[in-house]
Amino acid sequence: MTIKTIVADDHSAVRLGLRIALERAPRSRFSVVAEADNASRVLELLEQHACDLLITDYRMPQQQGGDGLALLRQVRLRYPRLPVLVLTTLDNPMVLRAILDCGARGLYDKQECLSNLSTAAYSLMRGSHYLSARFTRRLAEYEVEHRGAHERLSARELEVLKLLVGGLSGRDVAARLERSEKTISRQKRCAMEKLGISHDAALQEYAAVVGLPD
């Protein structure tokens, strides 16, 4: 049975490489039925073509359909059973975890030889997941590091972070917990240092992707 595939990348040379790697693999069953160069085009092509597999770059020009996580959310919403393999050079474990949580079944390192692409694609078609070796290591290291970091948070530090992430200001947190603003600021700073977080935006991203323990 032919595996109808859509590939997406904003560079035509990369799309050609993906097509060749899939269709010329030994005993290949892949057929690239369409190519996209941006996120909006991906969504258009999915409406126009029967598709068994989507292989897409993580970063493409921002268009109406969004990009990155926004695109993955749209694909999962509209095509919840469609296997999606994401290509990226990023190794930020928070981003990698977010990609998987948004419905991608595989993460392929663009630094990895394309000869392994068909192996990754077949894994997804069998209902399995695929992670390039570099991503497997980064996610494993990250989960170990932050599981230990969570354990180092005091109950009061965790309480402060949860309220801050929930939208309260430092002054509001101080009033609710009946502590001084100076104390709240110190507890926030200590907690963030233990989690390896350096600024407020990163704290929000951490809470959204990893979560804070109950």
**CB burial of residue 130 (10 Å; 0-12, 13-18, 19+):** buried
The residue-averaged pLDDT of 113-129 equals: 95
Using one digit for the tens of pLDDT, what is the confidence trace for 101-118?
899 999 999 999 999 999
111 strand-pairing partners: none
pLDDT greater than 60 at residue 202? yes
Going along the chain from its start, the domains and CATH numbers come out as: 3-138 (3.40.50.2300), 153-209 (1.10.10.10)
Using one digit for the tens of pLDDT, what is the confidence trace for 154-192?
899 989 999 998 889 999 999 999 999 999 999 999 988
Sheet holding 84-88, edge to edge: 30-36, 3-8, 53-57, 84-88, 106-109, 130-131
pTM of the prediction?
0.72
pLDDT greater than 80 at residue 150? no
User: What is the reported pLDDT for 66?
Assistant: 52
Using one digit for the tens of pLDDT, what is the confidence trace for 3-34?
999 999 999 999 999 999 999 999 999 999 99
57 strand-pairing partners: 87
22-36, 65-79, 102-116, 192-206 — which is least confidently predicted? 192-206
Please tell me the chain's helix, strand, coil percentages from 3-state DSSP, rounded to the nearest 5.
Answer: 55, 15, 30
